Amino acid sequence: MATVATVAIVGLGPVGLTTAVAFASQGHRVIGFDIDENRRAEVTQGKPPFYEKGLEAGLKKALRQKRLSVVDRMDDAVRGSGIIFLCVGTPSKPDGSMDVGPLHDAAKSVATAWRDEKTRTVVVKSTVLPGTAESVVRPLLQAAGVPFRIAVNPEFLREGRALEDALRPDRIILGVDSPGTARILRALYRSSRCPVLVTDLRTAESVKYATNALLAAKVSLANELANLCDGFGVDYDEVLRGVALDPRINPQFLVPGVGFGGSCFPKDVRALVASGTANGYRPELLEAVLALNERQFARAIAFLEKELGDLVGRRIALLGLAFKGNTDDVRESRAVPIARELIAKGAIVAGYDPAAMKGFSKLVPEVHLVNSVEEALKGADGCILQADWPAFSGLTAKDFRGLMTNPVVVDGRRILDPKKMRGVRFHRIG
């Protein structure tokens, strides 16, 4: 009979809560803790403090089956567990470097609450630069004089599909301090049918950053190539079809648009640039990836100006305020610079998103938020699709022609078929 583990999750944000629900769904006993009292209360009531497809139902089921509980004290989380996951955020500092403060505080709190001689495994799931587990977490546990194992288990959760990815991962990376720690974590992930790479702590930390840097670079490269195709008068889709015939090239993430956003790509690439520079190496390619991404959104606005002329007084529908569909996360959303630039040019921006309205209003309060796609499009002179929500991908030329004053549409996520946009002045990058 398989052993049921008792796991503490420290930090009930998007990574921590999703991980907690996934472990509970797989039969483990999970104890959740977060320093935010309001967040603890929401989770206890079965209400995720953010939108993630399927998460609310999974959370309520885990609570109902008593496989997941939320405690108010770190002491209770530590005392009742054998494995402790640190899932706190590692935000960017103003210079782009990683702020290790939240992780330091969480690890110190765990060490302080460790009041017995039970050996526990502390797993860093937060995204951290190579060497962080050894330089930040390990010393705090050592200073407390507690018997511990330490590991790094980076997450590869796609927002909008995070629970699906947690339940059915396509790979698991385990950075460990010993073979014994690897055995414990392999047993924890026993239900997952995917490749498992066991390595040292720093390598596991590096895999996460290398993955995000490569994916971000692919997006910026796709944008660069698509911008060139625009200049050549060439269809990027046809070019990509030809390129993808080369077995050395994976076409995934080579999809152009208005740029990447979210909580991972921009933050992690900036952290790599800052850390590399501080260590004597300037990562110029990654600097270029960020620089192109910062200006890519302007191409959507340039097309509107080409079709409409001066944007002063023009009503522009902005569909999609989160950084992508199926999430309410507005961090680094390209909708923010798009909206600000349109407003600076005198346009009236009508914004709509199925989940991200509240968060977006705090960032760009000048945007007129509306309650539906139809309300956003009604009387609009132009439209920019910025996130790939299903509600947007089903729009037709008839919708645009029937509702807009001037059916000028920029598809910033390439979710509509240009061949079906008759009667619409339609553009997508590439």
Going from N- to C-terminal start, the domains of the chain cover: 6-199, 208-294, 297-427
Mean pLDDT by 10 residues, the chain (430 residues): 84 98 97 98 97 96 98 96 97 93 98 96 97 98 97 96 96 98 97 96 98 97 96 94 96 95 94 95 97 97 97 98 96 97 98 97 97 98 97 96 97 94 93
The pLDDT score that the predictor gives to residue 1 is 38
- DSSP helix, strand, coil percent of the chain (3-state; round to 5): 45, 15, 40
CA pair distance 304, 400, nearest whole angstrom: 15
The pLDDT score that the predictor gives to residue 2 is 57
Q: Quick one: CATH architecture of 6-199?
A: 3-Layer(aba) Sandwich (3.40)
CA pair distance 50, 57, nearest whole angstrom: 13
Cite the active site residues: 264
Burial 153-189 (b: 16+ CB within 10 A, else e): bbbbbebbebbbbbbebeebbbbbbeeebbebbeebb
CA pair distance 335, 261, nearest whole angstrom: 9
CATH top class, domain 208-294: mainly alpha
pLDDT tens-digit readout, 175-229: 999 999 999 999 999 999 999 999 999 999 999 999 999 999 999 999 999 999 9
CA pair distance 228, 224, nearest whole angstrom: 6
* Sign of the alpha-carbon dihedral angle for 9, 12, 16, 22: positive
Torsion of CA 204, 210, 216, 222, to 10 degrees: -130
CA pair distance 50, 17, nearest whole angstrom: 10
The pLDDT score that the predictor gives to residue 3 is 76
CA pair distance 167, 162, nearest whole angstrom: 9
Do strands 148-152 and 172-176 pair parallel, antiparallel, or not at all (unpaired)? antiparallel
| 174, 151 contact by CB (below 8 A) | yes
pTM: 0.93
The pLDDT score that the predictor gives to residue 430 is 77
Please name which of 384, 223, 374 lies closest in space to residue 308, comparing C-alpha atoms: 384
Q: Where are the beta strands (DSSP E) in 100-170?
A: 120-124, 148-152
The pLDDT score that the predictor gives to residue 429 is 86
Straight-line distance from the first to the last Cα atom of the chain, in angstroms, rounded to the nearest whole number: 55
CATH top class, domain 297-427: alpha beta
Task: Tell me if domain 6-199 and domain 297-427 are identical in fold.
Answer: yes
